[in-house]
């Protein structure tokens, strides 16, 4: 159970870092231009997935609805991977001659971070969603005397 809590704690930290980065990006972009959509919708778009990841990790750490927590974690990690993946698809194409150099180190760090979160989510799901064999345990016989 210690490994399960450690994985959930790692995913909780990923969720907090993701929320802080989303807040930082939101503050930077709001200083540059006006948003296309309304501000409350922008906040929902930015902070729903990190919030889901934090709630799922908290449910698993508290051992309260752990299976629901793992489904929330898997959904949030899939969303994070979907957000980050287009940056790596562009690396497969050759760079135009006048384009700025690509930040390979930064993208590598983010890739390791996201892949570690995805691996932790899958391992956590397999540990929590494993069927219990409690009903298969032998029980003491009853006497109907």
Residue 142 lies in a domain: no
pTM across the whole model: 0.78
Residue 23 lies in a domain: yes
Residue 32 lies in a domain: yes
Residue 9 lies in a domain: yes
pLDDT (average), residues 127-133: 73
Residue 139 lies in a domain: no
Residue 17 lies in a domain: yes
Q: How far apart are CA 8 and CA 100, in angstroms?
A: 38
Look up the domain containing 110 and give its range: 2-130
pLDDT of residue 94: 82
What's the pLDDT tens digit per position in 16-67?
999 999 889 888 887 787 777 788 888 888 889 999 999 999 999 998 888 8
What's the pLDDT tens digit per position in 104-123?
898 899 999 999 999 999 99
pLDDT (average), residues 62-91: 89
Residue 145 lies in a domain: no
pLDDT at residue 103 greater than cutoff 90: no
Q: How far apart are CA 59 and CA 43, in angstroms?
A: 23
Residue 63 lies in a domain: yes
- Return all residues near 139 (Cβ < 8 A) that are at least 6 apart: none
Question: What percent of the chain has pLDDT above 90?
Answer: 43
- Return all residues near 116 (Cβ < 8 A) that are at least 6 apart: 10
pLDDT at residue 127 greater than cutoff 80: yes
Residue-averaged pLDDT of the chain? 85
Please count the structural domains in the chain.
1
């Amino acid at each position: 159970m210690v490994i399960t809590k450690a994985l959930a704690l790692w995913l909780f930290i990923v969720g907090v870092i993701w929320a802080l980065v989303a807040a930082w990006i939101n503050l930077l972009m709001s200083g540059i231009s006006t948003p296309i959509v309304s501000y409350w919708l922008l906040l929902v778009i930015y902070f729903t997935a990190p919030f889901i990841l934090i709630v799922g990790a908290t449910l698993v750490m508290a051992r309260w609805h752990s299976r629901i927590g793992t489904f929330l974690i898997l959904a949030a990690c899939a969303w994070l991977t979907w957000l980050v993946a287009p940056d790596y698809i562009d690396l497969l194409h050759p760079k135009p001659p006048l384009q700025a150099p690509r930040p390979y180190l930064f993208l590598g760090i983010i890739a390791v971070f996201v892949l570690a979160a995805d691996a932790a989510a899958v391992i956590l799901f397999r540990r929590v969603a494993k069927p219990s064999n409690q009903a298969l345990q032998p029980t003491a016989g009853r006497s109907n005397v």
